[in-house]
Protein backbone atom coordinates (compact mmCIF):
# COMPACT_ATOMS: atom_id res chain seq x y z
CA UNK A 1 0.00 0.00 0.00
CA UNK A 2 1.41 3.39 -0.87
CA UNK A 3 0.73 6.44 1.20
CA UNK A 4 -0.92 6.14 4.58
CA UNK A 5 -3.94 8.34 5.09
CA UNK A 6 -6.79 8.81 7.47
CA UNK A 7 -10.03 6.94 7.10
CA UNK A 8 -12.77 8.62 5.13
CA UNK A 9 -15.63 8.21 7.60
CA UNK A 10 -17.96 7.50 4.67
CA UNK A 11 -15.72 4.76 3.20
CA UNK A 12 -17.00 1.45 4.61
CA UNK A 13 -14.20 -0.62 3.07
CA UNK A 14 -11.47 1.51 4.68
CA UNK A 15 -13.28 1.48 8.03
CA UNK A 16 -13.77 -2.28 7.84
CA UNK A 17 -10.03 -2.74 7.22
CA UNK A 18 -9.18 -0.81 10.41
CA UNK A 19 -11.87 -2.63 12.39
CA UNK A 20 -10.52 -6.02 11.27
CA UNK A 21 -6.87 -4.96 11.72
CA UNK A 22 -7.38 -4.04 15.39
CA UNK A 23 -9.08 -7.37 16.07
CA UNK A 24 -12.72 -6.36 15.74
CA UNK A 25 -14.81 -5.80 18.86
CA UNK A 26 -12.38 -7.76 21.07
CA UNK A 27 -9.44 -5.66 19.85
CA UNK A 28 -11.34 -2.43 20.48
CA UNK A 29 -12.12 -3.57 24.02
CA UNK A 30 -8.41 -4.24 24.62
CA UNK A 31 -7.25 -0.82 23.35
CA UNK A 32 -10.01 0.99 25.27
CA UNK A 33 -9.11 -0.80 28.51
CA UNK A 34 -5.40 0.00 28.07
CA UNK A 35 -6.27 3.61 27.22
CA UNK A 36 -8.30 4.06 30.40
CA UNK A 37 -5.65 2.29 32.48
CA UNK A 38 -3.31 5.10 31.40
CA UNK A 39 -6.00 7.74 31.98
CA UNK A 40 -6.32 6.50 35.56
CA UNK A 41 -2.62 6.01 36.30
CA UNK A 42 -0.52 8.67 34.52
CA UNK A 43 -0.03 12.42 34.83
CA UNK A 44 -0.89 12.73 31.12
CA UNK A 45 -4.27 11.16 31.82
CA UNK A 46 -5.34 13.45 34.67
CA UNK A 47 -7.24 15.96 32.49
CA UNK A 48 -9.32 13.19 30.89
CA UNK A 49 -9.88 11.49 34.26
CA UNK A 50 -11.12 14.75 35.78
CA UNK A 51 -13.44 15.27 32.84
CA UNK A 52 -14.96 11.82 33.29
CA UNK A 53 -15.34 12.23 37.02
CA UNK A 54 -17.76 15.09 36.29
CA UNK A 55 -20.06 12.56 34.66
CA UNK A 56 -20.56 8.87 35.27
CA UNK A 57 -16.92 7.95 35.90
CA UNK A 58 -14.39 5.97 33.93
CA UNK A 59 -16.17 2.61 34.10
CA UNK A 60 -19.07 4.07 32.10
CA UNK A 61 -16.67 5.86 29.74
CA UNK A 62 -14.93 2.60 28.85
CA UNK A 63 -18.21 1.21 27.53
CA UNK A 64 -19.08 4.40 25.66
CA UNK A 65 -15.67 4.58 23.97
CA UNK A 66 -15.92 0.95 22.85
CA UNK A 67 -19.31 1.75 21.29
CA UNK A 68 -17.99 4.94 19.66
CA UNK A 69 -14.88 3.31 18.19
CA UNK A 70 -16.85 0.33 16.92
CA UNK A 71 -19.10 2.68 14.97
CA UNK A 72 -16.27 4.91 13.77
CA UNK A 73 -14.03 2.04 12.65
CA UNK A 74 -16.55 -0.40 10.87
CA UNK A 75 -20.28 10.82 22.30
CA UNK A 76 -19.62 12.66 25.41
CA UNK A 77 -17.61 15.81 24.62
CA UNK A 78 -14.48 14.93 26.53
CA UNK A 79 -12.12 16.30 23.95
CA UNK A 80 -11.30 19.58 25.60
CA UNK A 81 -8.46 17.37 26.87
CA UNK A 82 -7.37 16.37 23.34
CA UNK A 83 -3.62 16.14 24.00
CA UNK A 84 -4.16 14.14 27.18
CA UNK A 85 -6.57 11.83 25.35
CA UNK A 86 -4.05 11.30 22.55
CA UNK A 87 -1.15 10.69 24.97
CA UNK A 88 -3.10 7.94 26.74
CA UNK A 89 -4.24 6.39 23.45
CA UNK A 90 -0.65 6.36 22.15
CA UNK A 91 0.54 4.68 25.38
CA UNK A 92 -2.20 2.07 24.98
CA UNK A 93 -1.27 1.37 21.36
CA UNK A 94 2.39 0.99 22.36
CA UNK A 95 1.36 -1.95 24.55
CA UNK A 96 -0.35 -3.73 21.63
CA UNK A 97 1.24 -5.91 18.98
CA UNK A 98 0.17 -3.78 16.01
CA UNK A 99 2.53 -3.32 13.10
CA UNK A 100 3.93 0.17 12.46
CA UNK A 101 1.57 0.91 9.57
CA UNK A 102 -1.50 0.09 11.65
CA UNK A 103 -0.25 2.17 14.59
CA UNK A 104 0.39 5.12 12.28
CA UNK A 105 -3.03 4.87 10.60
CA UNK A 106 -4.81 4.56 13.94
CA UNK A 107 -2.89 7.50 15.40
CA UNK A 108 -3.79 9.68 12.41
CA UNK A 109 -7.44 8.71 12.70
CA UNK A 110 -7.56 9.15 16.47
CA UNK A 111 -6.14 12.66 15.96
CA UNK A 112 -9.02 13.36 13.58
CA UNK A 113 -11.51 12.08 16.17
CA UNK A 114 -9.94 14.08 18.99
CA UNK A 115 -9.76 17.25 16.91
CA UNK A 116 -13.34 16.98 15.59
CA UNK A 117 -14.75 16.59 19.08
CA UNK A 118 -12.91 19.46 20.78
CA UNK A 119 -15.24 21.60 22.89
CA UNK A 120 -15.33 25.06 21.32
Q: Residue 34 has what pLDDT?
A: 94
Q: Residue 119 has what pLDDT?
A: 42
Per the structure, the count of domains in the chain is 1
| Residue 101 main-chain phi, psi, to 5 deg | -65, -45
Q: Alpha-carbon distance 6 to 32, whole Å?
A: 20
The pLDDT tens digits along the chain (120 residues) read 334 445 555 566 777 788 889 898 899 899 999 999 999 999 998 888 877 777 666 776 776 677 667 666 763 333 446 678 788 888 888 898 888 999 888 988 888 877 665 543
5 lies in some domain: no
Q: Output the domain CATH number for residue 70.
A: 1.10.490.10
| Residue 76 main-chain phi, psi, to 5 deg | -60, 140
Q: Residue 42 has what pLDDT?
A: 94
66 lies in some domain: yes
4 lies in some domain: no
56 lies in some domain: yes
Q: Alpha-carbon distance 110 to 113, whole Å?
A: 5
- Let me know: does 61 contact 68? Beta carbons within 8 Å: no
Q: Alpha-carbon distance 120 to 89, whole Å?
A: 22
6 lies in some domain: no
Q: What is the pTM of this model?
A: 0.56
Q: Residue 52 has what pLDDT?
A: 74
3 lies in some domain: no
Domain extent, residue 100, equals: 12-116
Amino acid sequence: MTGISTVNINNKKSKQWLYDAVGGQDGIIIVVNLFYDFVESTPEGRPVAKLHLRGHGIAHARIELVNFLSGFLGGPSLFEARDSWMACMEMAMTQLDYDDELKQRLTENFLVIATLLINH
